Structure 1
Amino acid sequence: MKNILLPFLFSFGLLSCAHDHQSQQSDIASINRVLDDYHQAAANGEWDAYFDLMSDDGVFIGTDARERWAKLEFRQYSSGSNGWVYTPLQRNINITPDGLSAWFDEALLSQSYGSSRGTGVLIRTVAGWKISQYHLTLPIPNGMVRGVTDQIKEYEAQQ
C-alpha cells in the first residue's frame, strides 16, 4: 500500500504546483489585460470603461503632490477631457500568495511628458481584477534630482 500511495501523493503534489503556476500565469494575463484596457480607455476618453476597471474605493494618485483622487472625484475631473495617452513599455506584476491582490510597476511613454512610471495595486473581485490604486510618477534621473527638487521647493514656497 505504501508503494502505491507514495507515487500518488508525489504526483498529486506536482499537479498542485502546476495548477498554482497555471493559475498565476492566468492571473498575470488578466491583470495585463486590465492595465492595457485602462490605458486604451484613457487614450480614447472612454470614461465609463476606464472607471469600470477601478474598484469602488479606487484611488488615482497623480504627479502633483496634492493629487490624490477618489474614484468619483477623478471621474468628475476626467469627464471634461478627451483623454491622455500613456504607452506601456515594460511591466512587472506580482501576486500575493493568497491570490487576492497584486501590485505592479510599469514604464510608460507619453508624447506630453516623455518617460513616466505607473505603479499600483489590484484586487480580485467577483467581477475580476480591479485597480484599487494607480500612481503616476515622473522618474527623475539621479543627476537632475537636486535641481528639480530645488525648483519644487521654490514653487511650493510661492503657493
Structure 2
Amino acid sequence: MKRFLLACCLSAACFTAAAQTDAELKQQVGAFIDQWHDDAAHARPAYFDKIAPDGVYIGTDKTELWHREEFRAWAKPYFARGSAWSFKAVKRNVYWAPDRSVIWFDELLDTQMGPCQASGVIRRTAKGFQIEHYQLSMAVPNELGKQVTSLIQAHEAKPAATK
C-alpha cells in the first residue's frame, strides 16, 4: 500500500512539473512573440533577427510572400521612419511537438488595419527561438465577405497599369 501511495504521489508530482513546464513554455513563447511585435512597433532591427535565415513571412496581399532578407528589404522604408507597424495580441494559442523543438501558434491581433489573425511556426535553436513561418491575414467578418470578394474581383479585373 505504501508503494502504491508513493507511486501516486510521484505521478502527481511529475504531472504538476509537466504542467508547470507547459505553462513556462507558453509564457516564454508569448514573451518572444510579443517582443517581436514590439520590435516592429519601434522599428528595431532585432525584428528580423528573430526570423530564421530561411524563414518565410506571408502578408495580407497576395504578392507578399518573402524570405527574411526580401522582407527586410521590403520593410526598410517602414523601419526607416522609426515605427513600422503595431500588432498587439488579443488572444494567442500555443502548441508544440512532443520534443518541444517545433512550436506553432495562432493569434488574434489588434492592428492599424483593424482585427487580424496570424499563425506561425517557431523552431527552438541553440540561440533561442526563431520564426520559421508567419502568416498574417485580415479578419473579415463573414457578413462582409461578399462585399470584400466583389471589391477584390473588381480590383483584379482592372488593367495592371491602374492597380
TM-score band w.r.t. shorter chain: 0.7 to 0.9
- 1:139 Cα offset (Å): 1.0
Deviates more, 1:91-100 or 1:121-130: 91-100
Distance in 2 of aligned mates of 1:54 and 1:19: 31
Pick aligned residue for 2:18 from 12, 17, 20:
20
Number of residue pairs matched by the alignment: 155
Question: Could you tell me the percent identity over the aligned residues?
Answer: 31
2:133 is equivalent to residue 133 of structure 1: yes
Q: Over aligned residues, Cα RMSD in angstroms?
A: 1.7
Match of 1:29 in 2: 27
Match of 2:61 in 1: 64
Match of 1:147 in 2: 147
Unpaired runs of 5+ in structure 1?
A: none
Distance in 2 of aligned mates of 1:93 and 1:19: 18
The one-letter code matched in structure 1 to 2:107 is E
Answer yes or no: is the 8 Å Cα contact 1:34–1:130 preserved in 2: no
Deviates more, 1:17-26 or 1:27-36: 17-26
Unpaired runs of 5+ in structure 2?
A: none
Distance in 2 of aligned mates of 1:103 and 1:135: 11
Match of 1:121 in 2: 121
Distance in 2 of aligned mates of 1:56 and 1:17: 37
Distance in 2 of aligned mates of 1:72 and 1:59: 10
- 1:20 Cα offset (Å): 1.5
2:154 is equivalent to residue 157 of structure 1: no
Answer yes or no: is the 8 Å Cα contact 1:24–1:95 preserved in 2: no
- 1:76 Cα offset (Å): 1.5
TM score, norm. by length of structure 1: 0.87
Distance in 1 of aligned mates of 2:19 and 2:53: 29
User: Residue by residue, what CA displacement relative to the aligned partner does 1:47-90 show, whole Å, maximum 9, x if unpaired?
Assistant: 2x101212222111000012111011111112222311122222
Distance in 2 of aligned mates of 1:54 and 1:120: 11
Match of 1:106 in 2: 107
Distance in 1 of aligned mates of 2:49 and 2:38: 13
Distance in 2 of aligned mates of 1:55 and 1:10: 43
Match of 2:40 in 1: 42
Match of 1:96 in 2: 97
Match of 1:85 in 2: 86
Answer yes or no: is the 8 Å Cα contact 1:30–1:129 preserved in 2: no
Deviates more, 1:28-37 or 1:16-25: 16-25
Match of 1:76 in 2: 73
The one-letter code matched in structure 1 to 2:53 is D
Secondary structure at 1:74 match in 2: helix
